A and B are shown apart, each in its own frame.
Chain A
């Protein structure tokens, strides 16, 4: 018996749905990228060598400290004594909270130490000093 040779098999990959697939990818990436939520204060972050990445954005809370001594959380200015209430609530809502301190390199330790104390009172003990990578 002789086999019939198939000749009508098309070898093209269908490309008609390609734009749809790519649009899906595009929309997926656009939806999943989280843009910066708060602009904060203008700060010059200090530089350091041994820096580590913060594990998750969802568990991070930022405090901005400008060189004039202004303290800002989520684009609102606060007094140092108010930090404990804000951070206490956040800490209660999320036990994994890490506080990222974005302080200007010219700010004074008196203020930073005051923030340390406030965070200790709020029991938000995991702290991260936001820095830039120093070119070593």
Chain B
């Protein structure tokens, strides 16, 4: 049986779907690249050697112990209540500075929870004291 000779019909690569392929690639890369934005609680540390005299009635001590219990002024407070208490205190005295002091063995998690609560109460004057034993 004789083979039929195939006639050559021009060698073009179809480019009509090229756009679709490129679009697919584009979308694939757009979807797979995750831009990890840094998010967190912002705070400004006091400058070194900076000491400002503040009258004692404008200062509220917030002490965190090693088990994550919080003493706000003189009263033991639950972490979830700090928000509400601080809000009231700031309303009474808008010059109030909250001084956060923690024990050396306090967990960072508890500390962040307290700072978060202060932020929720819209406290802008937060001071961070050194840890104490």
Question: Contact residues of A with B, CB < 8 Å?
Answer: 15-16, 18-19, 22-23, 25-26, 29-30, 33, 35-36, 46-54, 57, 60, 65, 98, 100-101, 103-110, 112-113, 116-117, 119-121, 123, 125-134
What is the bound-complex CA distance between A101 and B18, given in angstroms?
A: 46
* A109 close to B19 (CB less than 8 A): no
What is the bound-complex CA distance between A65 and B109, given in angstroms?
A: 13
Please indicate the chain B residues that have their CB under 8 angstroms from the CB of A18 in the complex: 18-19
Q: Give the most central of B21, B30, B45, B113: most A CB within 10 Å.
A: B45
Given contacts A109-B106, A112-B108, A123-B48, contact A29 B41 (CB under 8 A): no
Please indicate the chain A residues that have their CB under 8 angstroms from the CB of B108 in the complex: 46, 65, 103-109, 112
Interface extent on B, as a size class?
35 or more
B1-48 residues with Cβ-Cβ distance < 8 A to A are 15-16, 18-19, 21-23, 25-26, 29-30, 33, 35-48
Question: Contact residues of B with A, CB < 8 Å?
Answer: 15-16, 18-19, 21-23, 25-26, 29-30, 33, 35-48, 64, 102-109, 111-113, 115-116, 119-120, 128, 130-131
